[in-house]
Amino acid sequence: MFTEKDLQQIQSKGINVKTINKQINNFIKDFPHIKLIAPATNQDGLKVFSEEEVKKLAAFYDKESIKKDTIKFVPASGAATRMFKHLFEFVAKYKNTEDDYQELLKDMSFNSVFNVISRIKDFAFYDELKSKMKNDGIDIDGCLNEKNFTPIIDYILSEKGLNYSKSPKGLIKFHYYDDGSRMSIEEHLIEGANYCKDENNHVKVHFTVSPEHLKDFKEEIDKTKGKYEKKFGIIYDISFSVQKSSTDTIAVDLENKPFRETDGSLLFRPGGHGALIENLNDLEADIIFVKNIDNIVPDRLRDTTYLYKKALAGYLLKLQEKTNNYLKLLKRNNLGDDKLYEIELFAKDSLEIVFNTYLSTLNNTEKSELLFKKLNRPIRICGMVKNEGEPGGGPFWTKNSKGVTSLQIVESSQMDLNDPEQKEIVSNATHFNPVDLICSVRDFKGRKFDLKKFVDQNTGFISIKSKDGKSLKAQELPGLWNGAMADWITIFVECPIITFNPVKTVNDLLREQHQA
Please name the amino acid found at residue 510. Answer: L
β-pairing, 405-410 vs 394-399, is antiparallel
- The angle subtended at Cα 287 by Cα 282 and Cα 289, nearest 5°, is 85
pLDDT tens for 364-407 read 999 999 999 999 999 999 999 998 876 678 999 999 988 999 99
Residues 6 or more apart in contact with residue 443 via CB below 8 angstroms: 327, 376, 449
pLDDT at residue 116 in the model: 98
The pLDDT of residue 393 = 82
- Over the chain, what is the mean pLDDT? 95
Q: Which domain holds residue 142?
A: 88-166
What average pLDDT does this structure show over 198-209?
Answer: 96
Render pLDDT for 176-187 as a digit per residue (tens, 0 to 9): 999 999 999 999
201 found inside a domain: no
Within a domain: 255: no
Return d(Cα 304, Cα 383) in angstroms, integer. Answer: 13
Q: Could you tell me if residue 194 is inside a domain? A: no
pLDDT beyond 80 at 1:
no
**Contact by Cβ (8 Å): 416, 33:** yes
| Contact status, residue 185 vs residue 170, Cβ threshold 8 Å | yes
Question: How many other CB atoms are there within 10 angstroms of residue 324's CB atom?
Answer: 18
Q: Can you say whether the dihedral through the CA atoms of 392, 398, 401, 402 is positive or negative?
A: positive
Instruction: Say if 480 falls within a structural domain.
Output: yes
pLDDT computed for residue 318 by the predictor: 98
Q: Which long-range contacts (CB under 8 A, 24 or more apart) does 44-53 make?
A: 44/397, 45/352, 45/395, 45/397, 45/407, 45/492, 46/384, 46/395, 46/430, 46/431, 46/492, 46/493, 46/494, 47/491, 47/492, 47/493, 47/494, 48/493, 48/494, 49/311, 49/315, 49/493, 49/494, 53/311
Residue 78: per-residue pLDDT:
79
Per-residue pLDDT of 479-501, as tens digits, reads 999 999 999 999 999 999 999 99
Q: What pTM does this model have?
A: 0.94
How far is Cα 337 from Cα 452, in angstroms, rounded to an integer? 34
Question: Same domain for 38 and 134?
Answer: no
Q: Vertex 291, ends 285 and 293: CA angle to 5°?
A: 120
Q: Which amino acid, 253?
A: D
Q: At residue 109, does pLDDT exceed 70?
A: yes
Task: State how many domains the chain has.
Answer: 2
Q: What pairing do the DSSP bridges indicate for beta strands 249-250 and 268-269? A: antiparallel
Task: Examine the domain organization and report whether 432 and 327 are in the same domain.
Answer: yes
51 and 104, same domain (yes or no): no
For the CA atoms of 387, 393, 395, 399, the dihedral, rounded to the nearest 10 degrees, stands at: 150
The pLDDT of 108-133, averaged and rounded, is 97
Backbone conformation region of residue 494, classed left if phi is above 0, alpha if psi is from -120 to 50, else beta: beta
Closest CA to 112 of 392, 388, 389, 510: 510
Q: What is the pLDDT of residue 357?
A: 74
Burial class (CB in 10 A: 0-12, 13-18, 19+), 27: buried
Phi, psi (deg, nearest 5) at residue 38: -170, 155
* Residue 428 dihedral angles phi and psi, to the nearest 5°: -95, 0
Q: Are residues 311 and 438 in the same domain?
A: yes
Q: Is residue 142 part of a domain?
A: yes
Q: Are 432 and 394 in contact (CB under 8 A)?
A: yes
State the pLDDT at residue 391. Answer: 64
**Rounded to whole angstroms, how far apart are CA atoms 397 and 180?**
46
Q: Is residue 219 part of a domain?
A: no
Say if 190 falls within a structural domain: no
Same-domain pairing of 400 and 496: yes
**Distance, CA of 308 to CA of 60 (rounded, Å):** 12
Half-sphere exposure of 76 (CA within 13 A, CB side): 33
Domain boundary, last residue among 166, 184, 217: 166
Question: Are residues 320 and 379 in contact, defined by beta-carbon separation less than 8 angstroms?
Answer: yes
Task: Return d(Cα 33, Cα 4) in angstroms, integer.
Answer: 36
In a domain, 109, yes or no: yes
Residues 287 and 317 in one domain: yes
Q: Which of 138, 166, 194 is the last residue of a domain?
A: 166
User: Are residues 56 and 119 both part of a single domain?
Assistant: no
Predicted pLDDT at 439: 98
490 with 452, same domain?
A: yes
- State residue 334's pLDDT score: 86
CA-atom Rg of the chain in angstroms: 25
439 with 477, same domain: the answer is: yes
Phi, psi of 447 (to 5 degrees): -90, 145
Q: Kindly tell me if the per-residue pLDDT of 134 is higher than 70.
A: yes
What's the rounded Cα separation, in Å, for the pair 410 and 485?
Answer: 11
Domain closes at, from 166, 186, 220: 166
Conformational region of residue 176, where left means phi above 0, alpha means psi within -120 to 50, and beta covers everything else: beta
Share of the chain above pLDDT 90, in %: 93
Q: What is the pLDDT of residue 82?
A: 87
Q: What is the pLDDT of residues 10-43, one digit of tens each?
A: 999 999 999 999 999 999 999 999 999 999 999 9
277 and 136 assigned to the same domain = no
287 and 159 within one domain:
no
Task: Please indicate, yes or no, whether residues 509 and 397 belong to a single structural domain of this protein.
Answer: yes
